[in-house]
Structures are given as structure tokens and as C-alpha cells.
Amino acid sequence: MKIVPTAIPDLLVIEPAVFGDDRGFFLESWNARTFAEAGLDLQFVQDNHSRSARGVLRGLHYQANDPQGKLVRVVAGAAYDVAVDLRRSSPTFGQWAGVLLTAANRTMFWVPPGFAHGFLSLQDGTDFLYKCTAPYRPDDEHALLWNDPAIGIDWPLEGIEPTLSAKDQAGIRLAGARTFA
């Protein structure tokens, strides 16, 4: 496993060791001991799986009282995955990092608690998996506005008109969002 830092130190790109031959491939997407040895001593309580058509933009979501850490990956299709730092005490508060996750590159992205998270599906039938460190609590979920100019996310929207849920269309700008200490 190779861990690649991003411009925001706590956001990590994880490239698993892939063993392949003419039959296909094998990789470990999660091993508690291996991740702990790499400094990521995590306890996951929930696995999620979503499928999206091309152009679906989900996010930017976070829970304020019981924040979730998320280990995310794509197993079919492709997505541009984004996290925004919502920790006021962080030198990277309000900054974002994005990574291309595809079935072909098998890359994973670690998004720790304290970040808003979202993704743009780049292909029809994109299957997105994520392991969470806290359970989903719909009464605690918040949506940061996906296109807030104060954040300035450079979504790869060439030829794509994003499809958003009503909740995501009504996202809050960073200036008015609940944030973390």
C-alpha cells in the first residue's frame, strides 16, 4: 500500500497493492493492521454503496455532531471526489482537495472527520463505496454548497450539466455553514 499526501495534510490518497495475472486481480481494500501500521488506526461502523449516472453530483455532505471519517473508492466507472476542510483551527480551513477515483486506477481516498465530502460521477453506472467511522444520522447531516465561489472547487464539468438532489441544490455557503473547532 502506498499513501500519497494531498495539499491538505490529513487527506490521503491510498494506492493499494494490486496483484494481477491473466485471471484478473486481487487487492486488499481494508486491513486494520496494515492501515494502523501506516498511521491510520481506524474503526469503521458502516459500509455504503451508491450507483450514479454520469453527471450526478452528490455533496458536499458532513455531519456536525457526529462527524464521519470516510474511506472511499470507485469499483465501476469513474468519479471526481472532493473534500473541503471545515476545521476552523486548521491552516487549510475552507480549502479543498480532489482526486480522480476510477475502477481502473483502484485508488482510495481517506477523508477524516471534520471535512465536507462529495463527488461528481463521470460515467454512467459509477459504483462508489465508502466505509464510515460513524453511523449516518440524517438529522445531523448538512450540505455545503457544491459551487460556493468562496471555496472555488474546480469540478471537471466539461460537457456535463450536474444533476443534484434538492438537498444539495439548497446547500449552505461556507460563510454560513456549521463548522468544527
Residues marked as catalytic: 61, 130
SS3 letters across the chain:
CEEEECCCCCCEEEECCEEEECCEEEECCCCHHHHHHCCCCCCCCEEEEEEECCCEEEEEEEECCCCCCEEEEEEECEEEEEEEECECCCCCCCCEEEEEEECCCCCEEEECCCEEEEEEECCCCEEEEEEECCCCCHHHEEEECCCCCCCCCCCCCCCCCCECCHHHHCCECHHHCCCEC
